[in-house]
A = this chain, B = another copy of it.
Amino acid sequence: MIIRPRPTGWQLLYILRGSIVPAIAPKVLAIGVLAVAVAAFERYWHPFGRDGVTVVPFTLLGLVLSIFLSFRNSACHDRWWEGRKLWGQLLIEARSVARAAAALLPGEPALRTRASHLLIAFAHALAARLRAADQAAAAAPWLADDQRAVLQRRNIPDAVLAQLAGELAVPLHAGRLDPYLYGQFEARLQAMSSVQAGCERIAGTPLPFAYTLLLHRCAWLFCVLLPFGLAGALGWATPLVSMLLAYAFFGLDQLGEELEEPFGLEPNDLPLDAMVRTIEIDVLDALGRRPLPEPLQPQGHVLR
């Protein structure tokens, strides 16, 4: 179980780490500079009048934009959370295979060890695949010499599962494992295959690109036009309110962007390395290994 330490109370108002402020500060400042210029122009030439009617269309525009940004954020958050659930599922399956191997194959400790290492190899290979790293290098340390053929396959996590299925089929064909109980192992491998395909779906199919384009452009146009709409009514308060709205809109746009691809390395992405380590610890713990590796610790509030 990974619990990330979180700042609380007043810290929430100024902390920068884990925040998206650094990513969007340039854009927000640009809007602020523009708003100062517009307010100054308004102050000395009064082109807009002070009756505030120009604000109303911006209310409409801003609400349309926030309804759709909210839809996109919700969809991106669902992707992120589904990614997390899939890795939680992988943890369940790894623990279950380890538990069932101990209960059902008490007389075959070597097979049990090999199966446990293949579980760990699968997790490493999948994490590498999702981050476009070297799958073979990630899986190799956990493979025995006679298992290295799997490194030749293009889809290494799938090859690891096939290897595991083949090794568990040996006691089945030898009559030392009941077909039904073998089927239980197969169901676990099937579930691990589902985790892999689910993660690939999230990593390989972003939200339709036109959404991102449409919302990104509308957010920019809105924030650039906003000071012109506000200056008549708010005068020198225009930059403050414009920047606050730009902070909210650009922030939510940026956050949606980060969550859309939850397997990356940005601060709000999923800590794949730490989750692989958790699987490693639980599987080795079930084998009775000591000492166990330590859980990964966050670096500056961020866990990779």
Contacts and interface: CB of A to CB of B under 8 A. Distances in A.
Interface of A: 1-4, 6, 12-13, 15, 18-20, 49-68, 70-71, 73-75, 77, 80-81, 84-85, 88-89, 91-92, 95-96, 98-100, 102-104, 106, 129, 132, 153-155, 158-159, 161-162, 165-166, 168-169, 173, 178-184, 186-187, 189-190, 193-194, 196-198, 200-201, 203-214, 216-218, 220-222, 225, 228, 230, 232-234, 237, 240-241, 244-245, 247-249, 251-252, 255, 258-259, 267-268, 270, 281-282, 285-286, 292, 301
Nearest to A209: B18
Contact of A210 (B18, B104, B210, B281): B18
A183 B104 CA distance: 10
Contact of A57 (B50, B190, B233): B233
A58 B60 contact: yes
Given A57-B241, A245-B61, A13 B217 contact: yes
Nearest to A257: B8
B209 A6 contact: yes
Given A154-B285, A165-B100, A169-B106, A2 B205 contact: yes
30 contacts: A1-B200, A3-B203, A6-B209, A13-B220, A19-B209, A19-B210, A20-B213, A57-B230, A59-B59, A60-B245, A64-B248, A68-B73, A75-B77, A75-B81, A85-B201, A92-B190, A92-B196, A92-B197, A96-B189, A99-B165, A103-B169, A106-B173, A154-B281, A158-B285, A180-B180, A183-B184, A184-B186, A208-B259, A209-B301, A214-B252
A57 to B, nearest CB: 5
Nearest to A1: B200
A122 to B, nearest CB: 13
A74 B78 CA distance: 12
B201 A88 contact: yes
Contacts of A2: 204-205
B183 A99 contact: no
A96 B161 CA distance: 9
A193 to B, nearest CB: 5
A102 B169 CA distance: 10
A252 B201 contact: no
Contacts of A251: 210, 214
